[in-house]
Amino acid sequence: MAATDFKDYYTILGISKTASPEEIKQAFRRLARKYHPDVNPGNKQAEASFKEVNEAYEVLSDPDKRKKYDQFGQYWKQAGEGFPGGAGVDMGGFDFSQYGSFNDFLNELFGGAGSRSSRQNYSYRTSTGRPPGGFGGFNDFGFQDVGAGASGAQDSEATISLTFSEAFAGVQKRFSLGNETIDVRIPAGAKSGTRLRVRGKGQINPMTQQRGDLYLKVELQPHSFFQIEGDNLVCELPITPDEATLGASIDVPTPDGSVNVKLPAGVRSGQSLRLRGKGWPIAKGGRGDQLVKVAIVPPKELSQQEREYYEKIRSIRTYNPRSHLQQVKL
């Protein structure tokens, strides 16, 4: 390895060489949030920084790896792997000569799993260890371990990104896990944070040869109009000042198509109208409600006639919404 290829993991995380494990974990969490692809969509520089931060944390959070890194510097991997260039390093009697590289050893250890599917946008994570507090470390593939089951099998977790339409109606997705292709049915009504269990599709424990489960964690892509609050759908409906004053009949989009809503005269900005049974699907059956939040939006541009009428209304208006403020004192 050339000297220019050396990565100073302490500098990457912004910590000193005497940093405690807790300080390392805190630095990683802060930088992982800062450079996460979800926070910086399409930013290649942030993506590269995110990978470097994950790489640095994977090494410095592991006491053995950190010790080798501190001792051998840029050659810590060769020393740790016991391959040519790391001669004389005690590897506990394990013979690595049967492998062409450390990656070959990892491929055999994890059963060849971990290739990223080109058919679906998701991150599939695993690692040989998980730091305290449940904030998993990452390697180049973005794998994360979610722990071993009672049988010793290794479970894995993947994040799957869905549109509102896919999550609302349910959808079938196809994944490639190494040389294996699986179809997974996502039921209607999934939300961000929903975890789905796919039995027997996790990692293979190299000691017991038992296979764990795969857990899919749902992330919903933002929608331009709808948001989810519990089992309810929430949307904002812009209306004009005259519609708010006089009342109106307005078409409102719902997951089932547009419905006509009667606005009462005198409706206030921020007031919500409830459309029962037009919300998000509920796991036990039925649906939540759709809450339509009213937003009074004045026109940015007025015709000459419109301006004249607004001035006329102002000159004859008797209602003062601020009259009660006249008695306000400290």
Q: Supply the DSSP string of 285-312, one letter for each residue.
A: SSB--EEEEEEE---SS--HHHHHHHHH
Q: What percent of the chain has pLDDT over 70?
A: 74
Q: Does the pLDDT of residue 296 top 90, yes or no?
A: yes
Q: How far apart are the first and last CA of the chain?
A: 71
Of 217, 221, 222, 220, nearest in space to 159 by CA: 217
Residue type, 121: N
Query: Which domains occur in the chain, in start order?
Result: 110-222 (2.60.260.20), 227-321 (2.60.260.20)
8 Å CB contact between 61 and 28: yes
Of 267, 232, 268, nearest in space to 249 by CA: 267
Residues 6 or more apart from 326 whose CB is under 8 A from it?
A: none
8 Å CB contact between 226 and 204: no
Main-chain dihedrals φ then ψ at residue 191, nearest 5 degrees: -130, 170
Instruction: Quote the Cα angle for 183-280-288, to 5°.
Output: 145
Least confident of 160-164, 173-177, 264-268, 273-277: 173-177
CB-CB neighbours of 195 under 10 Å: 11
Main-chain dihedrals φ then ψ at residue 246, nearest 5 degrees: -95, -15
- pLDDT tens digits, residue range 23-34? 998 898 889 888
Under the banding of pLDDT at 50, 70 and 90, the label for residue 270 is very high
Model pLDDT, residue 5: 57
Under the banding of pLDDT at 50, 70 and 90, the label for residue 226 is very high
Q: Please indicate, yes or no, whether the overall pTM of this predicted structure exceeds 0.75.
A: no
Axis-axis angle for helices 44-60, 63-72 (nearest 10): 100
